[in-house]
Structure formats: structure tokens, C-alpha cells
């Protein structure tokens, strides 16, 4: 009998087994089962699939065909592996065998890295130790189990217990092997201004790989993936999620092998990774959060919403309503002074906006994006006074005050660069790649982080500040650390991310009441790692209501609504030139953490009245929007006429249905929007009209949407259950 290690959650089971030869095999992950799944394993003599020496003349045991828990290179598995190492001579490979495992109460955490957290009684941890006796390497696989939430997290510790250096060339955090199944992959690709577009593709024979080598998790591929059985829909079928709590280079791979077995895995990008591990040292791999649903994609998303909202996000604003803000970026860009900002704030405060966020351009010499980054002192001439004076004026209007920063960057045209040119990533004797005319500071160096942190803290301490927008506006290149004595460059990109996390952790410790919003040219660093520090992230620089629907739809698969920074901006929209009504813009922006990003002095009186109403609506609905359950009612890849989504309170007594028309036609047919998540045995009253609808009718037939011969109409229906 095989020794089994079984993890149980309320609705799922995860099982590994230790083979007679000491290999840790993956047996099962999916719907809850009882018993020993080692009966699923089959043994055949497979040509060109090598056999471990210890198997003697038995040619049916091969790592190339058996499901692995943590596949590593060098053991005869020719699929993509999770782990590889080299020694100082450049010899690759490792032979990991099971040593021991144990279980403890509570959820593990990870030094210097974001991790899911839970109360002692909400989680347990299982650690499985593997070792290579020859290479003197120990690998500890960590599993954090949150039974109520049906979540299992994974992380890995690598320990050099020998007396020579080793280099980790690949270290993924999570692998899943499936013996059987026909799958699709759902991934979220994009670009600046168009992030997280959902694409569903069949898993094919061979290896498909997605990821980022940009230094951030990136606009181009989000570190969240779903593997779904072919027939899986929003409400039906098996699907698995993997979310990486990490904000830098990563890779996700899916591979269908020669025997139609499927492997998915995720972790740090191995390209250019070569992590030097000295004798006695340990390496901590970032965490992957896995979840399984046998009831389709909606349920899987709702698991991640709860996980991230309650077990990843932290801070004073984790569960409270975020202030409704006005940001001056699209209102002014760099063309402002203190007076203009105060005028924007005044009009906004009269309409009920609760916070003014001063965006890029308040510091150093920064009247365009070619200079000033790195010089974190207030440009008092431009601001017509000190920051405290501006902030006081805003506070006198009854508003909070927020500030934009971009700590990881430097312009060559700055005092900082003149003083410390070696603090920027550049390769000696080579001209660096510029992007937005800026270079990236070497945040792998503590002294750099110290300096920038102290400069920014001095500014924050000088005025009353309740919010920080932390931006990051380029991809990283020219990776080289000028730190004296530095030898191994295969570590830097990871240490850079650790430096960013260190900066953020210091911010949270020093300013526990400040709300930090993440940002990277909009949603270029929108990941569960960032959300550990910043409970919301500016979702995209694209503020066009219609395109935002697709962006927010894709984002909703892996991230809670509260995480999505979303604003009403001016029309014609600055990114697309499209015109939509202020009502439509507000309905879309309310599916997030709500705000405005335009000069409200410039809109009509009628629109000002609309803004007042919107603010009241958001205050009324935010709890339902952030804490209720979110349902996608349309798929933008299929439904091109109408977009719709609804929120339902957990007790199903309240629902908010949102609909936006995407096209307009002469003599148009009527669309019916089927709601989701309502109680079919309840009657719901539509607050606006008093009309009563049967829950079963709303769910099974749908709500008729009025035909209006006008583009981009939006509706918000608020239903209250009668009993």
C-alpha cells in the first residue's frame, strides 16, 4: 500500500502518494472523494521513457508517464518540469525523494513575500519534505488548506544543506498532473489600455506557455489561469484556478503529453533565472493559490473573490467603503497648479465627492514625462504653496487628500540620477533602453529603497494624506546591479520584487491608515501579490465605459470587485474618442471602487445633478457591490448586443442588475436579461417602479430591457425581496 497524504476541504480533495521507490506522486485533485486514489495509477513499459535505476529491471516505472507532485529535471521526466538546479560546473539535474511530512494548525506565511492568511482555526498547513541526498538539497513543499473556502495554497522552500554552492535554474510553486480529461484553458491577455481579455483555447498536444519577462506581472498576461473541462460553463462543470501571489516575472505552462495526460504549472519565470544558493541558505518561492469548482466558472470566481478580499487584502480599508475620489490626471495631465487643483476639488466637494487625488506632476521638475522622477520633493512654485497648504484647503472642504507616487523610477534629467547614476538599471558600456524616457531604479539594493522611502515619507509627513496611488510606468530591461561585489545576476529580478514588497510593507507599517492604490500604467501589475499591500488597483488607463466592460469582465474571473479602481471620465473619451452618457459611465464605474477623473467644473448643470445622484447611489449600493456575490450575465466574446452583470447579497434579499447596450438598431428586437443568483422562491420588488417580479421568472426567462434608439444606454435595477 502506498503512503498517502490527503488534503480535504469542504468540497474538494487533494491527494499525493509516496511510491515504493520514494517518489512523491500526484494522485488526485478535484471534487470531494473518499479513499485511496492510487488505483488510478497504471504501469506499462513505455518506449523512450526511462526508468529509475532503483526499479531494477522493471521497465514499467517511469517518471515520464507517472503523475508527479513536484517534477524535477534529471529523473527521466521529459515533460516540462517544476524544478531544476545546477552545480558550479554547470551540471543540471536533481533527484528528489520523499523524506517526511507533517501537519500543523494555521496557515504558513512566507518571509518577505505576500501570502494568504487565515485565523488559526480557519486553516491548516501540510509540509512535505523531499531531499536529494547526493546533492544535499532539501525541498519543502508547503500546502495551506482553507477548508471552508475550498482553497489550497502552495509554496516551496529550497535549502542547501551541502557545502558547495548550487544554482536554482527553475523553481515553480505549483504543479498539477491530470491523468485524464479534455480541457480548455482560460487565460487573460492584453496590452496597455486593454488588459485581461478572456480567451478560451483548447489544450493541445505540446506545451503552451504564458508569462511575463517585463519585471512586473504585466498588461500582456495576467498571472491567473483557469483549466476547465471542455463542457464547463459559468454554472456547470469542473474547473481549476491558479493565481500567483507575485508581481514580477512569471510563467504558466500547460502541457498535454503523449499519453493525453495534462500538466499545468506556475511559478517564477525560469528564463534568465539562476539563483545562487550558498551552503546553509534557503530560498522561498512565492505562493500559488489553487481552487476547484465542480459547478462552473462563476463559483470558481466567487471563491477567488472571497479569498482575495478576506484572506489576501489587508489594512484599514480592507472591508470598509473606500472614499469616492476625484483624480486630476485626465482633467489636467501635467498642466496644473495649486489653484487649479483646489478649484477641481471645490466643485467635486460640492457634488459630494469625498477625496481629491493629486496625480503626477507635483514634485521636482515635472511638467511633462521627460524629467523629475526620483526627486520626491514638492514643487511649491507650481503648487502655489506647500503641500500642507493644498491639503488643508482640500480638507477644509470636507474632503480627504491623496497623492500619486512612482517610487521605482528615475529620469536621467533629475537630481537623483545626477547624484547616483549607478542606482538605475543600466549595463556598463551599453546604452539603456528608455521607456517613457525613464529608467528603473535598482530596488534589489536596500540603500536605494531606503533613500526613496525616506524621501517619500518626508513628503507624506509634511501634510495630511489619506491615500497614495503607487504607480510603475515601464517594463524592466538592462538588468544589472552595480552593487559592489555583486556576482550573480540571475537573482536580481526576484530581489527587485522583494524590494518593492519591502517598500510597500514599510508604507503599511508606518501609515496603517493610508489607503494605497496600486497602478502600473493602469492594470500592468494587477495581481494577487500586489493586492496583499494595496486593496485596490487602477484597473486600466482605458476609462472608456464600453471598453471597460470587457476589461472588468476579464478581471472579474480572478479578482474581487472591490479591487477594481474605476472612474467616470470626460467625453469624448481620451483613449477611444467615444461618447457615452454620464449615466452609462457611472454604471460601469460602479462595478469597482468608484471615482471620477475629469474636471467637474466643465460639465453641464444637468450632469452635475446626475453626479450627485450617482454618489448617493454608490453609497447606497457599495456594500452589495463589494460584499455581495458577483455574477457575469454576458460574455463579450459572444454577446455583442448587451453587456450585463448583477450583484446579489449573500442572503439573496437584495440584487442590483446592471445592463449596458452595446449596439443600436432601427426597429430593434427586445433583449431579455436573465439574472443569476436570485432566490427562485422569492418575489422581488423593483425599487424604482414598485413592480413585483418572480425570482424564478427573472432567473429563467429574464427581464425585458427597453428599446431606446440610442447608443450605449445603461440601466441599473435594484431589487428587494418581499419576504
Q: Cβ of 432: how many Cβ atoms within 10 Å? A: 15
Distance of CA 225 to the CA centre of its chain: 11
Specify the residue, 131 or 541, whose C-beta has the smaller distance to ligand GLA.
541
Taking CB under 6 A as the criterion, the residue among 499, 522, 554, 558 binding ligand GLA is 522
User: Is the peptide bond between 572 and the residue preceding it cis, with omega within 30 degrees of 0?
Assistant: yes
CB burial of residue 687 (10 Å; 0-12, 13-18, 19+): middle
Q: Which cell is 514 given?
A: 493610508
Q: From CA 690, how far away is CA 668, in angstroms rounded?
A: 27
Does the protein bind ligand GLA through residue 125 (CB under 6 A)? Answer: no
From 174-182, 442-450, 517-525, 529-537, give the range in contact with ligand GLA by CB under 6 A. 517-525
To ligand GLA, the closest distance from the beta carbon of 440 in angstroms equals: 15
Neighbour order of strands in the sheet with 24-31: 3-8, 12-18, 24-31
Contact between 305 and 561 under an 8 Å Cβ cutoff? The reply is yes
From 247-255, 414-422, 446-454, 514-522, give the range in contact with ligand GLA by CB under 6 A. 514-522
Specify the residue, 46 or 574, whose C-beta has the smaller distance to ligand GLA.
574
Q: From CA 204, how far away is CA 486, in angstroms rounded?
A: 43
DSSP summary character for residue 250: E
Specify the residue, 434 or 674, whose C-beta has the smaller distance to ligand GLA.
434
Taking CB under 6 A as the criterion, the residue among 290, 514, 515, 519 binding ligand GLA is 519
From 70-78, 178-186, 412-420, 518-526, give the range in contact with ligand GLA by CB under 6 A. 518-526
Does the protein bind ligand GLA through residue 471 (CB under 6 A)? Answer: yes
The bridge status of strand 536-538 relative to strand 515-518 is: parallel
Contact between 566 and 538 under an 8 Å Cβ cutoff? The reply is no
Specify the residue, 58 or 368, whose C-beta has the smaller distance to ligand GLA.
368
Residue from 64, 77, 257, 541 carrying the catalytic annotation: 541
Does the protein bind ligand GLA through residue 195 (CB under 6 A)? Answer: no
Does the protein bind ligand GLA through residue 329 (CB under 6 A)? Answer: yes
Q: Which cell is 509 given?
A: 507599517
Report the candidate in 374, 444, 447 with the shortest Cα–Cα distance to residue 409. 374
To ligand GLA, the closest distance from the beta carbon of 193 in angstroms equals: 10
Beta bridge partners of 431: none
Specify the residue, 474 or 491, whose C-beta has the smaller distance to ligand GLA.
474
Closest residue (Cβ) to ligand GLA? 360
274 counts as catalytic: no
Number of residues that bind ligand GLA (CB under 6 A): 11
To ligand GLA, the closest distance from the beta carbon of 232 in angstroms equals: 34
Residue from 132, 177, 413, 471 carrying the catalytic annotation: 471
Does the protein bind ligand GLA through residue 404 (CB under 6 A)? Answer: yes
Q: From CA 483, how far away is CA 440, in angstroms rounded?
A: 15
Q: What is the dihedral of CA 340, 346, 352, 354, to 10 degrees?
A: 70
For residues 213 to 252, the per-residue mask of contacts with ligand GLA, x marking binding by CB under 6 A and - elsewhere, is ----------------------------------------
Q: Which cell is 596 given?
A: 471620477
Specify the residue, 304 or 329, whose C-beta has the smaller distance to ligand GLA.
329
Q: Which cell is 41 given?
A: 495509477
Taking CB under 6 A as the criterion, the residue among 132, 541, 547, 629 binding ligand GLA is 541
Q: Which cell is 47 given?
A: 518506449
Packed helices 492-510 and 446-461: angle between N→C axes, nearest 10 degrees: 30
541 counts as catalytic: yes
57 contact partners, CB below 8 Å, separation of at least 6? none
Does the protein bind ligand GLA through residue 645 (CB under 6 A)? Answer: no
Does the protein bind ligand GLA through residue 473 (CB under 6 A)? Answer: yes
- Contacting positions for ligand GLA (CB under 6 A): 329, 359-360, 404, 471, 473, 519, 521-522, 538, 541
* Residues involved in catalysis: 471, 541
Amino acid at each position: 500500500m502506498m503512503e498517502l497524504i490527503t488534503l480535504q476541504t469542504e468540497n474538494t480533495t487533494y491527494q499525493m502518494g509516496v511510491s515504493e521507490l520514494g517518489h512523491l506522486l500526484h494522485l488526485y485533485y478535484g471534487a470531494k472523494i473518499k479513499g485511496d486514489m492510487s488505483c488510478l495509477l497504471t504501469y506499462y513499459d513505455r518506449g523512450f521513457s526511462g526508468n529509475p535505476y532503483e526499479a531494477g529491471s522493471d521497465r514499467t516505472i517511469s517518471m515520464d508517464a507517472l503523475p508527479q507532485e513536484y517534477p524535477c529535471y534529471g529523473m527521466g521526466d521529459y515533460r516540462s518540469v517544476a524544478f531544476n538546479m545546477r552545480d558550479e560546473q554547470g551540471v543540471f539535474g536533481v533527484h528528489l525523494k520523499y523524506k517526511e511530512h507533517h501537519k500543523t494548525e494555521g496557515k504558513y506565511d512566507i518571509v518577505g513575500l505576500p501570502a494568504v492568511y487565515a485565523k488559526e482555526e480557519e486553516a491548516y498547513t501540510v509540509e512535505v519534505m523531499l531531499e536529494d541526498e547526493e546533492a544535499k538539497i532539501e525541498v519543502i513543499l508547503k500546502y495551506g488548506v482553507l477548508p471552508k473556502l475550498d482553497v489550497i495554497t502552495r509554496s516551496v522552500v529550497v535549502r542547501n544543506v551541502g557545502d558547495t554552492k548550487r544554482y536554482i535554474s527553475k523553481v515553480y510553486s505549483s504543479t498539477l498532473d491530470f491523468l485524464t480529461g479534455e480541457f480548455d484553458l482560460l487565460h487573460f491577455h492584453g496590452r496597455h489600455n486593454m488588459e485581461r481579455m478572456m480567451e478560451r483555447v483548447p489544450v493541445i498536444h505540446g506545451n503552451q506557455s504564458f508569462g511575463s519577462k517585463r519585471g512586473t506581472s504585466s498588461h500582456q498576461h495576467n498571472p491567473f489561469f483557469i483549466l476547465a473541462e471542455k463542457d464547463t460553463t459559468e454554472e456547470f462543470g469542473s474547473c481549476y484556478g491558479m493565481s500567483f501571489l507575485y508581481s514580477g516575472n512569471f510563467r504558466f505552462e500547460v502541457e498535454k503529453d503523449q499519453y493525453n495526460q495534462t500538466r499545468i504549472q506556475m511559478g517564477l519565470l525560469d528564463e534568465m533565472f539562476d539563483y545562487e544558493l550558498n551552503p546553509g541558505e534557503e530560498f522561498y518561492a512565492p505562493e500559488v493559490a489553487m481552487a476547484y469548482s465542480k459547478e462552473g466558472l462563476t463559483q470558481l470566481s466567487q471563491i477567488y473573490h472571497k479569498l482575495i478580499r478576506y484572506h489576501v487584502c489587508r489594512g484599514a480599508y480592507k472591508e470598509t467603503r473606500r472614499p469616492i475620489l476625484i483624480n486630476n490626471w485626465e482633467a489636467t495631465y501635467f498642466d496644473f497648479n495649486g489653484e487649479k487643483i483646489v478649484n477641481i476639488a471645490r466643485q467635486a466637494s460640492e457634488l459630494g465627492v469625498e477625496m481629491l487625488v493629486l496625480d503626477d506632476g507635483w514634485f521636482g521638475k515635472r511638467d511633462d514625462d521627460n524629467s523629475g522622477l526620483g526627486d520626491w520633493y514638492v514643487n511649491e512654485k507650481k503648487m502655489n504653496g506647500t503641500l500642507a497648504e493644498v491639503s488643508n484647503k482640500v480638507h477644509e472642504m470636507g474632503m480627504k487628500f491623496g497623492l500619486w507616487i512612482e517610487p521605482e523610477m528615475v529620469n536621467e534629467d533629475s537630481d537623483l540620477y545626477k547624484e547616483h547614476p549607478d542606482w538605475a538599471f543600466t549595463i556598463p558600456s551599453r546604452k539603456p533602453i528608455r521607456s517613457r524616457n525613464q529608467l528603473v531604479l535598482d530596488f534589489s539594493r536596500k540603500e536605494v529603497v531606503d533613500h526613496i522611502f525616506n524621501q517619500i515619507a518626508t513628503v507624506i509627513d509634511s501634510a495630511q494624506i489619506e491615500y497614495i496611488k503607487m504607480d510603475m510606468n515601464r517594463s524592466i530591461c538592462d538588468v544589472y546591479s552595480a552593487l559592489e561585489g555583486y556576482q550573480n545576476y540571475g537573482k536580481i529580478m526576484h530581489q527587485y520584487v522583494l524590494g518593492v514588497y519591502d517598500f510597500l510593507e514599510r508604507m503599511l507599517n508606518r501609515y496603517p491608515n493610508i489607503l494605497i492604490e496600486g497602478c502600473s500604467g493602469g492594470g500592468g501589475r494587477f495581481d494577487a501579490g500586489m493586492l496583499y499591500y494595496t486593496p485596490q488597483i487602477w484597473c486600466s488607463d482605458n476609462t472608456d465605459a464600453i471598453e471597460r466592460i470587457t476589461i472588468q469582465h476579464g478581471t472579474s474571473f480572478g479578482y474581487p470587485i472591490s479591487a477594481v479602481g474605476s472612474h467616470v471620465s470626460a467625453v469624448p473619451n481620451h483613449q477611444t474618442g467615444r461618447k457615452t452618457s454620464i449615466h452609462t459611465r457611472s454604471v460601469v464605474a460602479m462595478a469597482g471602487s468608484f471615482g471620477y477623473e475629469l474636471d467637474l467644473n466643465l460639465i453641464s448643470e444637468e450632469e452635475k445633478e446626475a453626479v450627485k445622484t450617482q454618489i448617493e447611489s454608490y453609497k447606497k449600493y457599495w456594500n452589495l457591490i463589494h460584499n455581495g456575490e458577483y455574477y457575469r450575465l454576458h460574455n463579450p466574446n459572444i454577446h455583442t448586443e448587451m453587456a450585463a452583470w448583477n450583484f446579489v447579497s449573500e442572503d439573496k434579499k437584495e440584487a442590483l442588475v446592471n445592463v449596458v447596450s452595446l449596439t443600436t438598431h432601427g426597429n430593434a428586437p427586445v433583449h431579455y436579461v436573465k439574472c443569476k443568483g436570485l432566490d427562485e422562491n422569492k418575489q422581488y420588488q423593483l425599487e424604482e417602479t414598485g413592480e413585483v417580479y418572480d425570482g424564478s421568472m427573472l432567473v429563467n426567462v429574464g427581464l425585458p430591457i427597453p428599446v431606446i434608439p440610442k447608443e450605449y444606454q445603461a440601466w441599473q435595477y435594484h431589487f428587494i425581496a418581499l419576504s
